[in-house]
Structure 1
Amino acid sequence: MKHASKLIRQHILALLADGQFHSGEVIAQEVGLSRTAVAGHISQLADWGLDVFKVKGKGYRLNRSFTLLNADKIKKYVRKSQLAVIDVAPVLESTNTEVKKRIANNRDELANGDTVLAEIQTAGRGRHGRTWLAPVGGSLTFSMYWSFPDGYQSMAGLSLLVGVAICDALQKIGVNDAQVKWPNDIYLGNKKLAGILIEVEGQIGATAHCVIGVGLNVHVPVDEYDVGQPHTDLSAALNSETDRNRLAAKIIESLWDHLDGFAHSGFGKYVAIWESLDLFADKKIVLQMGEKRFCGIDRGVDASGALLVETEDGITRFHGGEVSLRGY
């Protein structure tokens, strides 16, 4: 029953994606259900972030049309050869959770670079357990698998490396001024464009099975969505509609390329690149770690990915915390 509901919602989503009106009666005929059942499915999609409205006598329509994510199209745009699977799901609890399930159930069948994208996330997460919700069709949300046989210590600086890879991909589509905010955010014009959430499965001393989650704003108008902090999107930066399938291919390809290099050489060779993209380079910052608060000047990062902060006592290295310019 659960699988059948997913297929029905996927069908309804595909019908509505053109941005035109579709009567409840026609949708009901298409999916083989009653109009009441269709209304229930659309209500659930709306609860998950689908911007749909109903007009009496006309039916249902989305606020804006969008092109659905399509695994075959993404693969067509990817030029780099990699033994990896690219899957697109219409609805998932969270792409990170999905990849973690695959690690638990069949990790031997996973390959580095395997990627799962979702059109809708019903329980997306950000750092520190925050909820991360995105408008349907207006974001790019995906998770990638990568294993590190040498364990946790070989992953030092990984979230920073992912930021470098995303900025590299964005440059290839004409966004040249994206910056990184330590340790795992992408900013554009001092506003958040994308976030990174890395989770690791595995025992200390054994292979680290890594899940790299990315959420990027493609069409998230500031006047329509409040995400709890200043944000921007690619449509505002490019003044045009972004092909999410082509964008996904560029980012996935860039991650494959940079992760290969990172796995062989570590973060050291990427330090200078990251620092050239640093949003707070040489600025006075505040670092909040739980109840503790540290003030100083951002002096970049080291080969382990630690933030270097210049204080009255000299350079201090930090491996965790929230960085801001506020209140200093």
Structure 2
Amino acid sequence: MRDISNPLKVVALLSDGQFHSGEELAAIFGITRAGVNKYIKVIREWGIELLSVQGKGYQLTHPLDLLNNDKIANYYHRKTKQSPNFEVIPVINSTNQYLLERVQSLPVGFACIAEYQQAGRGRRGRQWYSPFGSNLYLSIYWRLEQGPAAASGLSLVIGIVIAKVLRELSGQDIRVKWPNDLYLNDKKLAGILVEITGKTGDVAHVVMGVGINLSMHNPNQDIVNQAWSNLGNIDRNQLVAELLSYLRQALINFEKEGLTAFLSQWSPIDNFANRSVKLIIGDTLIKGIARGINEQGALLLEQDGQITPYIGGEISLRADS
């Protein structure tokens, strides 16, 4: 992997929101203007939008609230009186993949947070749009001693917990969508990806990733092809600390009691409760009224007065407008 330390330093310098001339940057790094242009090209590839004005230099189009290890640790310690166990990697292929490749050596609860994902992914291998510093990309590792079957309903629990944190920090009506999304004003705000390694009867290594839209601008419409929303201005470092605190406690409770302990929290924030929806299962379209979830985490769909549970990785839920 190429050395990106200097492009990251350029981002840090520009994060003050001011103009910085090419001459100034060249002097700081002891390089030519052509060298500065190479750094600018790299950070533009990360999705950072820059103004380039002759006689003034470079300025960020939108301000960046950069992730900071010390700030996250301080927020976390103030809330829990404990030290967090996490790593901030500014540029990464995928936070989930990074943890999956290290599950044999990771401590339970270890988290990875990134500014930019080069190969972020969602469910069913879809690409997850991950511009630098605009959103939040976080993954956390856990072990389930009971095996993979014990993870049933976990994505729903993660959604409930994240919605709780976002509602508290932003004051907005964040809602959940079965089985792995969060919505704001009927638009997608965040997605959850739970990946599990381990065989039946063995310990399950679980990696849970979340991507949250905070201040995304002009996303690639080939990737982001549905209505989306931003959470808005929020302290990203505080958000990381709050998420880690709540998620770790929730995972302890989930290990003991499963989805049952969280079931009552789903209905009040269910974005599609009692609304006409359509399920897409492969090439099959099923219309009905969403009636919440059951103890196994299945979606309850009412059709002609009959309620049927649906569960599975290939099901997609859409409003029937």
TM-score (norm 1): 0.90
Q: 1:299 is matched with which residue? A: 291
Offset of residue 65 of structure 1: 2.0
Residue type of the alignment partner of 1:41 = Y
Residue type of the alignment partner of 1:20 = Q
Structure 1 pair 32–93 and aligned structure 2 pair: CA distance change class (3 A): farther
Please give the per-residue CA displacement for 1:123-146, whole angstroms capped at 9, x wherever unaligned.
111222221123322211111111
Q: 1:230 is matched with which residue? A: 227
Offset of residue 57 of structure 1: 2.2
Offset of residue 314 of structure 1: 2.4
Q: 1:288 is matched with which residue? A: 280
Please give the per-residue CA displacement for 1:137-166, whole angstroms capped at 9, x wherever unaligned.
221111111111111111000000001000
Contact 2:276–2:320 at 8 Å: present in 1 too? no
Q: 1:46 is matched with which residue? A: 44
Offset of residue 115 of structure 1: 0.9
Distance 2:97 2:216 in 1: 24
Residue type of the alignment partner of 1:17 = S
Q: Does 1:136 align with 2:132?
A: yes
Q: What 5-or-longer segments of structure 2 have no aligned partner? A: none
Distance 2:172 2:246 in 1: 15
Q: Percent identity?
A: 39
Distance 1:32 1:114 in 2: 38
Distance 1:172 1:200 in 2: 29
Contact 1:118–1:142 at 8 Å: present in 2 too? yes
Q: Of residues 203, 208, 218 in structure 1, which corresponds to 2:204?
A: 208
Offset of residue 82 of structure 1: 5.8
Q: What 5-or-longer segments of structure 1 have no aligned partner? A: 236-240
Q: Of residues 192, 195, 200 in structure 2, which corresponds to 1:199?
A: 195
Distance 2:194 2:295 in 1: 18
Contact 2:119–2:128 at 8 Å: present in 1 too? yes
How many residues align? The count is 314
Contact 2:194–2:209 at 8 Å: present in 1 too? yes
TM-score (norm 2): 0.92
Q: 1:238 is matched with which residue? A: none
Offset of residue 16 of structure 1: 1.4
> Which stretch of structure 1 is more off in the superposition, 158-167 or 15-24?
15-24
Q: 2:319 is matched with which residue? A: 325
Distance 1:57 1:183 in 2: 52
Q: 1:263 is matched with which residue? A: 255
Q: 2:300 is matched with which residue? A: 308
RMSD: 1.8
Structure 1 pair 81–97 and aligned structure 2 pair: CA distance change class (3 A): farther
Structure 1 pair 44–288 and aligned structure 2 pair: CA distance change class (3 A): same
Q: Does 1:164 align with 2:156?
A: no
Q: 1:69 is matched with which residue? A: 67
Q: Does 1:85 align with 2:69?
A: no
Distance 1:100 1:9 in 2: 27
**What is the SS of the residue equivalent to 2:102?**
helix
Residue type of the alignment partner of 2:63 = S
Offset of residue 83 of structure 1: 6.8
Distance 1:309 1:111 in 2: 39
Moved runs in structure 1, 4+ residues, more than 4 A?
Answer: 81-84
Residue type of the alignment partner of 2:203 = T
Distance 1:95 1:31 in 2: 30
Q: 1:25 is matched with which residue? A: 23
Distance 1:312 1:72 in 2: 56
Q: 2:234 is matched with which residue? A: 242
Residue type of the alignment partner of 1:326 = D
Distance 1:81 1:263 in 2: 23
Contact 2:290–2:299 at 8 Å: present in 1 too? yes
> Which stretch of structure 1 is more off in the superposition, 74-83 or 262-271?
74-83
